[in-house]
């Protein structure tokens, strides 16, 4: 739980060394060198720490980026939460604090990557924070060997958080989306209780609807451990559909939980329909 948590911006070498220890605990791999994170925060980056008493319960690391068309933005690279403090909303609190500080520093866009099949992260990023999934990248990091990613291509969504836009302040219209959305990927439950992907006839049609829905499992890490072939099938089918939608001008706008079906639904809408610029213009 996040009760009694104090958050602050981290700026000193000692802070970065403490973050390294939590990195190793969360991902089971070598941490980012502390001299790199220290240099980043001294040059426009942001490292946030969330403390329970003197214990680091979570951190969020980001650094400046630049794109020829987008200009300068903040790239949010790592969000790590101690296992004892997960499921308490701490990740969302860190992200909202990041947004507050980023706006003060002059940023208007924050980006990061996330695994499209990790439903908890997708729900946080799109439905709660109101970022969008604006780009799909196949095997982005190559073959990762950490405990969460080992064994599958590292496909990722690029999240775009337009932090001063009306969209970032809006709420997902769940009821309207489920009523009006065109379902591209359905599911059935197999004998092990896992959601299995089932493509619908709409998957082969031209992309002209106002809204599309794509199902993902709500327990992808469990599926990876228990049925690697099913995990690979989920990666292949969703990757094809996500790429097709984005190339047709759609973006992942929100995620809907459907616990009775052991799944979540991505909601895709035309990017041009979303209010992503300051003032809605």
3-state secondary structure 43-55: CCCEEEEEEECCE
- Mean model confidence pLDDT for the chain: 91
Percent of the chain exceeding pLDDT 90 equals 78
Angle formed at CA 238 by CA 232 and CA 242, multiple of 5 degrees: 145
DSSP string, 23-45: HHHHHSSPPPPHHHHHHHHTTT-
Mean pLDDT of 250-267: 94
CB 272 within 8 A of CB 251: no
CB 42 within 8 A of CB 9: no
pLDDT band per the 50, 70, 90 thresholds, residue 99: very high
pLDDT at residue 149 above 90?
no
Closest C-alpha to 74, from 166, 162, 170: 162
pLDDT at residue 164 above 50?
yes
What global pTM score does this model have? 0.90
The set of residues, in sequence order, having a beta carbon less than 8 Å from that of 9 and lying 6+ positions away, is 41, 46, 47, 48, 49, 101
- How far apart are alpha carbons 63 and 194 in whole angstroms? 38
pLDDT (tens digit per residue) in 40-81: 999 999 999 999 989 999 999 999 999 988 889 999 999 999
Supply 246's token pair.
């984005």
pLDDT of residue 1: 46
Sorted by where each starts, the structural domains of the chain and their CATH numbers stand as 5-169 (3.40.630.30), 174-273 (no CATH)
* DSSP strands (E only) in 104-258: 109-114, 132-137, 156-162, 182-189, 195-199, 211-217, 250-258
Helix (H, G, I), strand (E, B) or coil at 237: helix
CB 113 within 8 A of CB 79: no
Percent of the chain exceeding pLDDT 70 equals 93
CB 176 within 8 A of CB 269: no
- How far apart are alpha carbons 214 and 133 in whole angstroms? 13
pLDDT at residue 176 above 60?
no
Burial degree of 48 (CB within 10 A; 0-12, 13-18, 19+):
buried
pLDDT band per the 50, 70, 90 thresholds, residue 175: low
Taking CA atoms, 22 is separated from 27, 44, 114, 116, 146, in Å, by: 9, 23, 19, 24, 14
The gap from C-alpha 233 to its chain's centroid, in whole angstroms, comes to 21
């Amino acid at each position: 739980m996040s009760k009694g948590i104090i958050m602050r911006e981290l700026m000193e070498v000692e802070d970065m060394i403490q973050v390294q220890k939590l990195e190793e605990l969360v991902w089971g791999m070598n941490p980012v060198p502390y001299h790199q994170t220290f240099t980043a925060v001294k040059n426009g980056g942001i490292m946030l720490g969330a403390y329970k008493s003197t214990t680091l319960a979570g951190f969020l690391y980001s650094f400046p980026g630049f794109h020829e068309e987008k200009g300068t933005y903040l790239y949010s690279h790592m969000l790590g939460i101690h296992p004892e403090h997960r499921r308490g909303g701490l990740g969302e609190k860190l992200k909202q604090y990041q947004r507050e500080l980023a706006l003060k520093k002059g940023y208007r866009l924050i980006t990061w990557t996330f695994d499209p099949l990790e439903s908890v992260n997708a729900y946080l990023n799109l439905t709660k924070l109101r970022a969008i999934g604006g780009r799909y990248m196949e095997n982005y990091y190559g073959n990762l060997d950490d405990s969460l990613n080992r064994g599958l291509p590292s496909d990722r969504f690029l999240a775009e958080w337009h932090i001063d836009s009306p969209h970032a302040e809006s709420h997902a219209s769940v009821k309207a989306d489920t009523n009006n959305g065109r379902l591209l990927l359905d599911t059935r439950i197999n004998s092990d209780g896992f959601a299995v992907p089932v493509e619908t006839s709409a998957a082969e049609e031209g992309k002209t609807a106002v809204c599309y829905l794509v199902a993902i499992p709500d327990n992808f890490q469990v599926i990876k451990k228990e049925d690697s072939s099913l995990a690979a099938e989920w990666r292949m089918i969703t990757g094809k559909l996500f790429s097709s939608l984005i190339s047709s001008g759609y973006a992942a706008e929100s995620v809907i939980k459907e616990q009775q079906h052991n799944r979540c639904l991505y909601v895709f809408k035309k990017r041009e329909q979303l209010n992503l610029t300051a003032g809605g213009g």
